[in-house]
Amino acid sequence: MKLSVRTLAAAALAAAAALAVAPAHALFEDDEARKAIIQLRGKVELQDRDNRARIDELALMIEQRSKLLAERIDRLEQMARGQLELQSQIDALRQDLAKLRGTLEVQTNELALAQRRQREMASEIDARIKPFEPMQAQIDDKAVNVEPAEKRSFDGSLALFRAGDFAGAVSGFQHLRLLWPESPYTPGALFWSGSAQFALKDYKAAIATNQAMLARFPEHPRSADAMLNLGLAQLESGDKRAALATLETVAQKYAESQAGRIAKHRLTTIR
């Protein structure tokens, strides 16, 4: 069992005191006491060296652990600083995101308002141009696109004809043909103009109008009626030969139609 440092030190002091009070001859004669003191000194020195080694080892260990702890503290501090910086960046990003969301909301509202204004403007424009936009009409059993004013012009002129205002009808149909020379109403306008002119006993004009209609629209559904009107106008104008030729053509070409039957009957009365 090893003696502690304090025990060895106390023993050394006691021995030193004993030597101090003992006579010189007794000290030198007592070999056993001297040996004991030498051994005790040796043990004390060994114990002291051992203690110093342990202290040095402990100091080294403490120094190493302190260094490790200091390094860990440094890393933790760096991590903490990094986390603080990261948190600051996150907070900044959140602020930027909030600003962007606010801007987006404002822009979305402005866009919605602009779109609503555009729709209102488009509706207003549509309402303004609708009266001038082409519309679909049924002409001679065909669906065609015409302008609203174009249709009103034809319908108005035809209404005048049916009301007996033949001069007004002729003027209206001529106006229609002047404004819309390629109008799908042109064949009808020519036919009714020729009929109105015949009713006005303007046979020369009626002949010219019906000839124009037959030349431009020979396959029109009213071609038979136009040719009959042409023959009757020629007859009334005194051109019997031309009238006979025209009425014979109607009677032969359109034999099954009402115009053909009328032409055949008139031929029997004028021959």
For residue 183, the SS3 value is coil
Q: State the chain's mean pLDDT as an integer.
A: 82
Q: Give 88-98 pLDDT, tens digit per residue.
A: 888 887 888 78
Is residue 172 a contact partner of residue 157, using CB atoms and an 8 Å limit? Answer: yes
**Protein fold of 135-270:** 1.25.40
What is the pTM assigned to this prediction?
Answer: 0.54
Per domain, the residue ranges of the chain are 5-104, 135-270
Is residue 223 pLDDT above 70, yes or no?
Answer: yes
Give the pair of three-digit tokens for residue 249: 């053509």
* Secondary structure class of 8 (helix, strand, coil): helix
- Among residues 200, 196, 151, which one has the least CA distance to residue 176? 151
Please, which pLDDT band fits residue 131 given cuts at 50, 70 and 90? low
Looking at residue 33, its amino acid is: A
Kindly report, residue by residue over 14-41, the tens digit of the pLDDT: 554 444 444 544 444 567 777 777 888 7
